[in-house]
Structure 1
Amino acid sequence: MTSNAKEIYKGKIKSIDGALRTIKSNDFIIAAMAGSEPIPLLEELHRIRDYGVRGCELSNCLPMKDYEFIKNPEYADTIFTAGWFYSPVMRKAHSTGNVSFAPQHLHNSFTKRLYARDDRRLVLLCTCASMDKHGYLSLSLGTTYERQAIEEGAYVIAVVNPNLPRTFGDTLVHISEIDIVVESSYELPTLPEVPINEKDRIIGNYIAEMVEDGSTIQLGIGGIPNAVAEALKIKKHLGIHTEMFTDGMVDLIQWGAVDNSHKTIYRGQTVATFALGSQRLYDFIDDNPSVVFRYGKWTNNPYIIGQNHKMVSINTSLEVDLFGQCASESIGPMQFSGTGGQTDTAVGAQNSPEGKSFIALYSTTTVKNEAGGRSTISKIVPMLKQGAAVSLSRNDVDYVVTEHGIVRLRGRSIKERVERLISIAHPDFRDELKFQAKQHGIW
């Protein structure tokens, strides 16, 4: 490490309190997403109210902890939070009135014109792995929008944590690009392992049967994606171009199913925009040049995704109607998660030569009824619940999968879609779905 870089670094170190005192009224604050969140800063961020700060807005995605500024309406006049992917923390805090949802596709999640309102100053709160001898730090677990914010001139407050893995790609940041360094060695947030049930395995096998050797895949998290990964372990020469790098992908690489040898973009390397999972995942990506993190605007650009030969996109949904519309982020008007990269990857995969896009869901779920008990309902419905957000339009849906089968909707008429979707609904609801389809003139 050059002595100049060392001195620059030392000169930028502040305490958490010192860093927070640089935030001004009406700043637009961008918090790094998911595992990249600067947890020590966010745990104390509400204190800026004591310094007289008012009128800030904060943009986040997948917050990992129950932060005071999010859950406590007392701080609404200081920090209003607009999240573009809800976690349980955001869902719980939504009713307080100081949290709202910001609809957008991941590949457009950051552009200066979205945030440069009323000439507000941009402030990025992020995390970095330790600086190397050349004066470079790594954004580590992701660069979905963090690197872009730096390049757009944001005031950068970085928590430097030696526990963070050092990663490659668009994650590199020179110390000269950082305004304040806060040092902290907190434990990284991890996700619990989601067990795979029998429905997951059935759905995973349906999808795996459709994935050819040499395909490039995108997966998410949860029981169904985990089951897909397990079912894909017998495949050969798979590649990965994904939004989120997960434990299931580590498994596929270590099983030998993924070698990235047939990819058309970044051959020989796994491409993602962020990572979140277990400590095993973080250890795998640490100093690993075979995993490359790129801007979200690039990894999730449907045009870029479509350049991968035999691209396969696998996403889940909360509800699918008989037109093929997918409500993947809300239950009626209640925001549950976010659009994220579902449309990006689904459209991108269908633009790919021999590409395929899958929407997977259980055929039923249980909900609380008016009597206070539990009732089973179909997740394939005549029409989406009133107020539901359409995450993937009927124009963009390809394959839909439940534990009762897999059907292709792309290019099919509404009549054919109704017939096919009813065929993979739970048998207990098929007659009612047929009746409702005729009753409402759907076909």
Structure 2
Amino acid sequence: MPRTFGDAIIHVSHVDYAVEDNTPLPEHGGKPASPEETKIGQLIGENLVVDGATLQMGIGSIPDAVLSALKNHKDLGIHSEMFSVGVIDLVKRGCVTNNRKKFHKGRIVGSFLVGNKELYDFVDNNPFIEMLEIDYVNNTHVVSLLPDMTAINSCIEVDITGQVCADSIGTRMFSGFGGQVDFIRGAAEAVDGRGKPIIALVSTTKRNESKIVPTLKVGAGVVTTRAHVNYVVTEQGIANLFGKTLRQRAYELIKISHPDHRETLEKAAFERLKCMPAP
């Protein structure tokens, strides 16, 4: 078990019983990014992440692909519910310094880790890492104070107005949504006006079904509202939804859907909005 700094340190007087155990920690190596996920990472890294940005990443191949695309960035900071092994290379390259943060300057802030032995060894006794209580790390107001806060999260489907479902496929629960709402909202309310709430997803499922849909599936929950999402990114491009009407949002989202589904989405958008999507 790695020893971390921050709220994880308790005085031995608070411990009633201590049991030593050498069972290996669970490891999550992840899987290599697909060509589509790699493209999404490049689009976000090259167009939406600026030098000095504070990053929050969700779990999965897309956030890892984004990290891989940031090797030429400078003075990045990390304030994230969780982080994974992809952070290590950026720290070693000097890309992640956390020097532009107003608080916890020079420190990566997180609440839990998802990774392998390399990550556990990296954080062990490393004062560069602060593991803090999740009610603080995920506090929307705290997130909103961070410089150039860039929250990158994935989802299951997005409707043509920007409503995001991230936890279920219709009525069937697929996963929890973690801190997505906290960080997306915090980035949307960024005090410096430069926050970037980003939803990233591959445009189709393995069955070639569009993940950009006319309406969310029956029974699907809205995890993140269209009021808080500024950017949606697929391998087809970037949709900027900030300040857009529903008609304009549909136009932007259909542009980044898979070409096989655009005509169908345009027809469905007309049925729903009673007008053709337009810029």
Partner residue of 2:183? 345
The letter of the residue matching 1:178 is: V
Partner residue of 1:429? 261
Q: 2:37 aligns with which of 183, 186, 200?
A: 200
Mapped partners of 1:203, 1:195: distance in 2: 14
The answer on whether the counterparts of 1:239 and 1:258 sit within 8 Å (CA) in structure 2 is yes
Mapped partners of 2:274, 2:236: distance in 1: 22
- 5+ long unaligned stretches in structure 1: 1-163, 367-374
Secondary structure of 1:395's counterpart equals coil
Partner residue of 1:333? 171
The answer on whether the counterparts of 2:154 and 2:199 sit within 8 Å (CA) in structure 1 is yes
Mapped partners of 1:328, 1:310: distance in 2: 24
Deviation digits for residues 256-313 of structure 1 (CA, Å, limit 9, x no counterpart): 1111111122111110111120100000000011100111011101100111110110
| Displacement after TM superposition at 1:174 (Å) | 2.3
1:410 corresponds to 2:247: no
TM-score w.r.t. length of structure 2: 0.94
Write 1 or 2 for the structure with the bigger share of strand: 1
Mapped partners of 2:24, 2:103: distance in 1: 34
Partner residue of 2:151? 313
Mapped partners of 2:247, 2:272: distance in 1: 13
| Displacement after TM superposition at 1:433 (Å) | 0.5
Mapped partners of 2:237, 2:163: distance in 1: 18
Partner residue of 1:387? 219
Deviation digits for residues 62-101 of structure 1 (CA, Å, limit 9, x no counterpart): xxxxxxxxxxxxxxxxxxxxxxxxxxxxxxxxxxxxxxxx
Identity of aligned residues (%): 44
| Displacement after TM superposition at 1:181 (Å) | 3.1
Give the stretch that moved more between structures: 323-332 or 214-223: 214-223
The letter of the residue matching 2:225 is: S
Deviation digits for residues 327-363 of structure 1 (CA, Å, limit 9, x no counterpart): 1111111111112100101111122221111100011
| Displacement after TM superposition at 1:176 (Å) | 3.1
1:241 corresponds to 2:73: no
TM-score w.r.t. length of structure 1: 0.60
| Displacement after TM superposition at 1:442 (Å) | 5.9
| Displacement after TM superposition at 1:183 (Å) | 2.8
The letter of the residue matching 2:204 is: T
The letter of the residue matching 2:199 is: I
The answer on whether the counterparts of 2:81 and 2:134 sit within 8 Å (CA) in structure 1 is yes
Secondary structure of 2:209's counterpart equals strand
Q: 1:361 aligns with which of 201, 205, 210?
A: 201
The letter of the residue matching 1:292 is: E
Mapped partners of 1:346, 1:300: distance in 2: 10
* RMSD after superposition: 1.2
Mapped partners of 2:273, 2:184: distance in 1: 28
Mapped partners of 2:88, 2:138: distance in 1: 20
- 5+ long unaligned stretches in structure 2: none
Partner residue of 1:111? none
Mapped partners of 1:276, 1:402: distance in 2: 24
Q: 1:266 aligns with which of 95, 100, 104?
A: 104
Secondary structure of 1:345's counterpart equals helix
Secondary structure of 1:260's counterpart equals coil
Secondary structure of 1:364's counterpart equals coil
The answer on whether the counterparts of 1:220 and 1:246 sit within 8 Å (CA) in structure 2 is no
The letter of the residue matching 1:222 is: G
Secondary structure of 1:377's counterpart equals coil
Structure 1 stretches of at least 4 aligned residues deviating more than 2 Å after TM superposition: 174-183, 440-443
Mapped partners of 1:181, 1:435: distance in 2: 64
The letter of the residue matching 1:365 is: T
Alignment length, in residue pairs? 272
Mapped partners of 1:350, 1:217: distance in 2: 14
Partner residue of 1:184? 21
The answer on whether the counterparts of 1:265 and 1:307 sit within 8 Å (CA) in structure 2 is no
Mapped partners of 2:146, 2:255: distance in 1: 32
Write 1 or 2 for the structure with the bigger share of helix: 1
Deviation digits for residues 136-172 of structure 1 (CA, Å, limit 9, x no counterpart): xxxxxxxxxxxxxxxxxxxxxxxxxxxx111010001
Secondary structure of 2:260's counterpart equals helix
